[in-house]
Structure 1
Amino acid sequence: MQELPSIEPSLRVPALVKDSNPSGTMFGGWLMGQVDIAGSIPALVRAKGPVVTVSMHEMNFYAPLFPGDLVSLYAKVIASGKTSIRVHIDCWVQRYAGNMECFKAAQAVIVYVAIDKRGMKRDLPEAD
């Protein structure tokens, strides 16, 4: 059986029935939203201020999610430029259906841009 990564997740959220589709699985858009939130956290820390999503370079789904699944999202900055930050996000699922299953269900790469108070892009501060 696989195990969750040993690092702290950026976000952990239960999949709820209200976000499922008529076939009983979770809407892909629901998971994309959770992935975007999780990715924005390390981007915000790196930018030392607000960021906005610019593009989702990659979003791969490996397995369907169901209501009741516990979704853990692990995000890390993989590159940064003058104003932009590229973040890789892994989505892991714990499913308690009889016996506990744990597996990687999706992954994504998202680009964020640091913005100022007016919503205009701004240069990133020096990395720590």
Structure 2
Amino acid sequence: MTPEAITEASTTEPHGALTIRTLAMPADTNPAGDIFGGWVLSQMDIAGSICAVERVQGRVATVAVEAMTFIAPVKVGDVLCVYTSIERVGNTSITIAMEAWARRNRLADRVKVTEGRFVYVALDEHGQKRIIPR
């Protein structure tokens, strides 16, 4: 991503509902000292599933990560905020768009660090696909 695109991404407002906030800790770093991308992905998956569960009124399972773009690194001490919005509701699946933003420097600065699109499937009490209520 170009420096101009990163600057633009970091100066806009988040889209969607704030679904989860968590603190990036030293145990979650990669060898370069930044927060491991897999940790960010897992936080986004948790946030997406919260959004999906609320909409489908029941259990869900992640079936796909359709898109994932890492824009800027997350640093130790950042508060990671994940915003979610429903992009599509099908018969048994739901697509959630997500943006992850990091609050830095004692929460004064906010920068968009990641965006993605995850697909979840609604499950019944036996773990089988079920129709999503309209």
TM-score (normalised: structure 2): 0.86
Quick one: percent identity of the two aligned structures?
38
Query: Per-residue deviation at 1:7?
Result: 6.4
1:29 and 2:74 aligned: no
1:72 equivalent to 2:81? Answer yes
Q: Could you tell me which amino acid in structure 1 is paired with residue 126 of structure 2?
A: R
Aligned to 2:56: 47
Count of residue pairs brought into register by the alignment: 125
Q: Retained in 2: the 8 A contact 1:14–1:69?
A: yes
* Change over 3 Å in CA distance of 1:79–1:116 after alignment to 2: same
Contact residue 83 and residue 123 of structure 1 kept, 8 A: yes
**Post-superposition shift, 1:101?**
2.2
Aligned-pair distance for 1:6?
8.4
Looking at structure 2, the residues matched to 124 and 7 of structure 1 have their Cα atoms a distance apart, in angstroms, of 21
Q: Counterpart of 1:109? A: 117
Q: CA RMSD in A?
A: 1.9
Q: Which has the higher helix share?
A: 2
Q: Secondary structure at the match of 1:82?
A: coil
8 Å contact from structure 1 (residues 64, 105) kept in 2: yes
Alignment check: 8 A CA contact 1:12 1:72 kept: yes
Shift of 1:42: 1.4
Give the whole-Å Cα distance in 2 for the aligned partners of 1:5 and 1:12: 13
Q: Deviations over 1:88-126 (max 9, x none)?
A: 0001111117x9321111100000000011111100011
Give secondary structure in 2 for the equivalent of 1:9: strand
Give the structure 2 partner of residue 38 of structure 1: 47
Pair 1:96 & 2:105 matched: yes
In structure 1, give the amino acid aligned to 2:78. D
SS at match of 1:10: strand
CA drift of 1:3 comes to 6.8
- TM-score for the superposition, normalised by structure 1: 0.90
Secondary structure (helix, strand or coil) at the match of 2:18 reads: coil
Q: Distance in 1 between matches of 2:28 and 2:60?
A: 26
Is there any run of 5+ residues in structure 1 with no aligned partner, and where?
none
